[in-house]
Chain A
C-alpha cells in the first residue's frame, strides 16, 4: 500500500510540474506580454517598462521559469496588479465558495444518480430502464450554463421559489443553503447522468457475481441484496468517476457563479479578465489545477485502499 501511495504521489507531483511548465510556455509564447495586458492600450512605454521590471519580465526565460516554478511550489504566486495583495491569499479567500458549490453538485448527482442507476439495473430492459437511459444521455449532453440559465429563469424569475443572486447572508446557514440549491443543481445535473449510467453498468455486472447468487440462494430479501451487497461493490467505479468529474464541475461552477452572481474563483477570474489582472488568472488556473490533481489522487488512493487489484497493477 505504501509503495503504491508513494508512486501515485510522485506521478501527481510530475503532472503538476508539467502543467506549470505548460502554463508558463503559454504565457511566454502567446503574443502580448502580461505587463501590457495589465496596463491596457493607453499606457506609456515608460509605465510598461517599469511594470515589466517589477514583474521580473526582463530576466532571462530560464530564470523567469525557475522563479515561477519555485514560487508556485512554495505558495507564492506573485502579487495582484491593482491592490498588491498576494495572489494566493486572494484565491484562497474565494475557494470555499466554489468548493461549497462543487460539494452541492456532488450531493445532487449522488443523491439522484445512484438510486436511478440501481433502479435501472434492477428493472433491466423495462420502460423505466429506457427512460433513465435516455434522460441520463440528455442531461450529460446539455451544457451546464444552459441548465443554469433555465433554472434561474424558471425557479427564480418566473416562479420566484428560490433566490436568484448571491451566496446568502454570512452566518445564516439556512439562507446560504437556499442560495446554493439552484447553482449546485446546474453544476451537478449532468453528473446525475454519468453516475446513473456507471452505477447501472457496474450493478448489472455485480448482480451476476457468485456471492450475490449465494445470497439469493440463502433467501435474503431482494432489497438487502441490491442495496447492501451489490451496491457496496458497484459503487467503486463511481469514486474514480467523481475524481475526474470534479474538474468538469469546476468548469461548470464558473458559469454557475456568473449566472447566479455568487462569489467564488470563477467569478474572481472572470472579473480579473475584465480588469486585466493577469496574475490572478494564472494563479487561479494553477490552484484549481493542483486541486484537481489532488482530488484525482485522493480518488485513486480510496480505490487503491478498497480494491487490492488496483494497487498491484500499478
Chain B
C-alpha cells in the first residue's frame, strides 16, 4: 500500500499535478456514477422543453430536442473514457511488439519499418480519419482504428530506440551466450526496461485521443445519434449557436476540463518519474 501511496504523494506535492489528478478523478466519477447522478435519460426526446437554460430541473439546460444536457454530458464522458482506455491499450500492445521487432530484428527490417512509421505519420490525422470513415462508415470502431493508426508509430519508435540501446548491453550479451532465445530476451530482459517511458508518453497522449474521438463525433464520423458524445453535443451546440449558447458550453467545457486534467497529470508524471523525456 505504501508503494502505491508514494507516487501519488509526489504528484500531490506539485500544484499542477494535484489539480490534474483532481480534474481527472472528477471526470471519471461523473462517468462511472452517471446513472446515480441524474435520473434523466440522455436520449429521451421532449420537444416541449427544448432550448432551456440551466435550471434546478435541468442542471445544464436542454438541447434542440429537449434532451437533458447534464445526462448527455455524463454519458458522453463514458464514451470518451472508453475510447481513450481501449484504443490506448491496443496501441501500446501493437507499438511494443512492432518496436521490439524493429529494434531487435535485422537491420533491413528496421529500416523498412522506420519508413513505414514515417509514412503513417505523414498522413494528416483528420484526412486519414475522413478517408477511413468514407469506406468503413461512421462508428466507434472507426474512431479507434484512427487512434491506433495515429499513435502506434510514435510508441513503436520509442521502444525501438530503447531496444537498440539495450541490445548491446552486457547483461543481454550474457543472456545470449547462455543460450536464451530471442523471445525470452525480449520478454524478460528488454521489455521491463523499456516500458516505463512508454507508459508516461501514453498517459500524455490520452488528451489527444479524447480530442480525436470528440473531433470525429463532432464531424458526425464517430458515435451514431442518439448516443451522446461530447463531440456530438458540441455539434448540436454549433448548429444551434444562434439560438442558445448553452449547448455549445455543455459540449465544450467537459472536453476542456478533461484534456487539461490529463495533460497536467501527464506532465507532472513525466517530470516526477522521468525528466529525461522532457521536450519529446
Q: Which A residues form the contact surface with B (CB < 8 A)?
A: 14-16, 18-19, 21-23, 26-27, 30-32, 34, 37, 134, 137-138, 140-143, 145-146, 149-150, 152-153, 157-158, 201, 247-248, 250-251, 254-255, 258-259, 266, 269-270, 272-273, 276, 278, 281-282, 284-285, 288-289, 292-293, 296
Contacts and interface: CB of A to CB of B under 8 A. Distances in A.
A216 B255 CA distance: 47
Main SS at interface, chain A? helix
Interface in B124-145: 124-128, 130-137
A284 B134 CA distance: 13
A14 B118 CA distance: 10
Contacts of B234: 145-146, 149
A14 B263 contact: no
28 contacts: A15-B115, A15-B119, A19-B120, A19-B123, A21-B119, A22-B123, A27-B135, A30-B135, A31-B135, A34-B135, A141-B260, A141-B263, A142-B256, A145-B234, A146-B256, A153-B245, A157-B242, A201-B279, A247-B122, A251-B125, A254-B127, A259-B238, A285-B127, A285-B128, A289-B122, A289-B124, A289-B127, A293-B122
B42 interface: no
B115 A14 contact: yes
A32 B241 CA distance: 36
Given A150-B248, A288-B124, A18 B133 contact: no
Interface stretch (B46-54, B97-105, B210-218): B210-218
Contacts of A21: 119
Contacts of B259: 141-143
A284 B130 CA distance: 10
Nearest to B210: A143
Nearest to B254: A146
Interface of B: 16, 115-116, 118-120, 122-128, 130-137, 207, 211, 214-215, 218-219, 221, 234, 237-238, 241-242, 245, 248, 252, 255-256, 259-260, 262-264, 267, 279
B126 A251 contact: yes
A137 B267 contact: yes
A251 B216 CA distance: 11
Contacts of A259: 238
B219 A30 contact: no
Contacts of A18: 115-116, 118-119
Contacts of A272: 134
Nearest to A250: B124
Q: Lowest 9 A-B CB distances belong to which pairs?
A: A18-B119, A143-B211, A141-B263, A251-B126, A19-B119, A250-B124, A30-B135, A141-B259, A254-B126
Contacts of B262: 141
The listed residue with most B CB atoms (<10 A of its CB), out of A26, A157, A296, is A26
The listed residue with most A CB atoms (<10 A of its CB), out of B242, B256, B264, is B256
A137 to B, nearest CB: 6
A255 B207 contact: no
Contacts of B248: 149-150, 153
A258 B126 CA distance: 12
Contacts of B279: 201
Contacts of B219: 255, 258, 270
A153 B241 contact: yes
A273 B133 contact: yes
A134 to B, nearest CB: 7
B126 A250 contact: yes
The listed residue with most B CB atoms (<10 A of its CB), out of A254, A266, A296, is A254
A32 B245 contact: no
